[in-house]
A = this chain, B = another copy of it.
Amino acid sequence: MTELPAPAELLSVALAEARLGLREGGIPIGAALFGPDGELLGRGHNRRVQDGDPSTHAETAAFRAAGRLRGYGRTTMVTTLSPCWYCSGLVRQFGIGQVIIGEARTFHGGHDWLAEHGVRITVLDDAECIALMREFIATRPDLWYEDIGE
């Protein structure tokens, strides 16, 4: 049995998704869902702009890409940004056991609520994640506030 890679290594997959989203003209938030031994189950990024789809946040994209599964308790969701209420609700409903978060400075979503409900939360405070969102919010505030319903 292998081990779950280090958080920074897991985050690199989510960050690659975020950068890809930015290159596509989209909102640069990426996520990935990993199994207990570090196997990549699904990865994705926000697709509001690309697909005109407000329901595809990074976390829901990664969750969808993993397909139909039973039992998420031993899975880990890695996301470049603190999950909004929508994505936090996803984590709680499906019982995803752990969430690793790139940063929670530019947006503070529902991760404290998840921690209260037993989800293991790690906030990495990653400089690249912070820079990516700070620059994006400064450049395209319209898109950002649309994406979080504000």
Question: Could you tell me the distance between the alpha carbons of A148 and B71 in the complex, rounded to whole angstroms?
Answer: 10
Q: Which residues of B contact A66 (CB under 8 A)?
A: 54
Q: Which residues of B contact A67 (CB under 8 A)?
A: 52, 54
| The residue from B55, B87, B93, B148 contacting A149, defined by CB atoms under 8 A apart | B93
Nearest Cβ in chain B — how far from A29, in angstroms?
Answer: 14
Q: What's the number of copies of this chain in the assembled complex?
A: 2
Q: Which residues of B contact A72 (CB under 8 A)?
A: 149
Nearest Cβ in chain B — how far from A114, in angstroms?
Answer: 10
- Residue tally, chain A, CB below 8 Å to B: 30
| The residue from B53, B56, B90 contacting A89, defined by CB atoms under 8 A apart | B90
Pair B63/A55 contact, Cβ less than 8 Å: yes
Question: Could you tell me the distance between the alpha carbons of A52 and B65 in the complex, rounded to whole angstroms?
Answer: 10
Interface set, chain A 79-134, CB cutoff 8 A to B: 84-90, 92-95, 110
Nearest B residue to A143 via CB reads: B68
Answer yes or no: A1 CB below 8 A from chain B CBs. Answer: no
Pair A146/B68 contact, Cβ less than 8 Å: yes
Answer yes or no: A19 CB below 8 A from chain B CBs. Answer: no
Assess A55 versus B48: contact at CB under 8 Å? Given A85-B89, A89-B88, A93-B149: no
Answer yes or no: A70 CB below 8 A from chain B CBs. Answer: yes
| The residue from B63, B94, B95, B149 contacting A94, defined by CB atoms under 8 A apart | B149
